[in-house]
A and B are shown apart, each in its own frame.
Chain A
């Protein structure tokens, strides 16, 4: 299977919280990232977490890492219409510096 997997689509109401999930297979991953891509644009780094951390919070964003289950999540509090985008999780393996991306989760925020 793929190294990094994400669900394809998430629909959420404006003002609610969004949770985007990601699973990975390589236990030697050192850093895990969340990127946001708006239509026709490049990737914007939202946040990242080092593999020895369980949680990281940055304003409306909360990243949770369950290393045992190899599960990463991104929670967006008070989701806004401007949060509609594709969100990619990615990992860097210990052995190299190449990013491996998940397939991306398309988030649609409804008013």
Chain B
């Protein structure tokens, strides 16, 4: 099946620093990638939809200046948490749609656990 990777798998940073998380589709091209946030024992909350070559579409309540998304190629999207604070600590998961496969199947990455001290 289609594989999506994320890097890093976990990161610990100091408050005020910025953290970049990468999401890659390894064996398919993804014109659309999605970024989710998951709190402990909760469901996934869609943060934004990342489209290759254009600006991301953010969900209501998600600060676009806080969570910068870049989708520079068909296999890579990045999420940068700027000036991170402890309340940004969470599990961030990306997913990608295979543009050639058709349908609506999204393949998920393994997630990145962010801890802001």
A residues whose Cβ falls under 8 Å from a Cβ of B: 30-31, 33, 35, 40-45, 48, 88, 92, 97-99, 101-104
A-B Cβ contacts below 8 A, count: 49
> In the complex, which residues of chain A have a beta carbon less than 8 angstroms from the beta carbon of B106?
45, 99
CB-CB < 8 A to A33: which residues of B?
Answer: 105
Known: A42-B110, A48-B105. 5 other contacts (CB 8 A): A31-B103, A31-B104, A40-B111, A101-B43, A103-B42
Q: Find chain A residues with CB under 8 A from B104 CB.
A: 30-31, 92, 97
Q: Does B93 sit at the interface, judged by CB under 8 A?
A: yes
A99 and B34 contact, Cβ closer than 8 Å, known pairs A41-B111, A44-B108, A45-B1: yes
B: number of interface residues (CB 8 Å):
23
Task: Give A37 to B113 CA distance when docked, in angstroms.
Answer: 15
Interface residues of B in 78-114 (CB under 8 A from A): 93, 95, 97, 103-111, 113
Taking a contact as CB atoms closer than 8 A, the residue among A30, A45, A88 that contacts B107 in the complex is A45
Q: Which residues of A contact B93 (CB under 8 A)?
A: 42-43
Which residues of B come within 8 Å of A, CB atoms? 1, 4, 6, 32, 34, 42-44, 46, 49, 93, 95, 97, 103-111, 113
Determine how close the nearest CB of chain A comes to the CB of B95; give it in whole angstroms: 8
Q: Which of A31, A48, A88, A99 has the most CB of B within 10 A?
A: A99
The distance from the CB of A85 to the nearest CB of chain B, in whole angstroms, is 13
Q: Which of B46, B49, B105, B109 contacts A42 (CB 8 A)?
A: B109
Given the interface pairs A30-B104, A44-B108, A45-B107, the reply to whether A88 lies near B1 with Cβ below 8 Å is no
| Interface pairs A-B: 9 shortest CB-CB | A43-B108, A42-B110, A42-B108, A92-B104, A42-B111, A31-B104, A103-B43, A101-B43, A101-B44
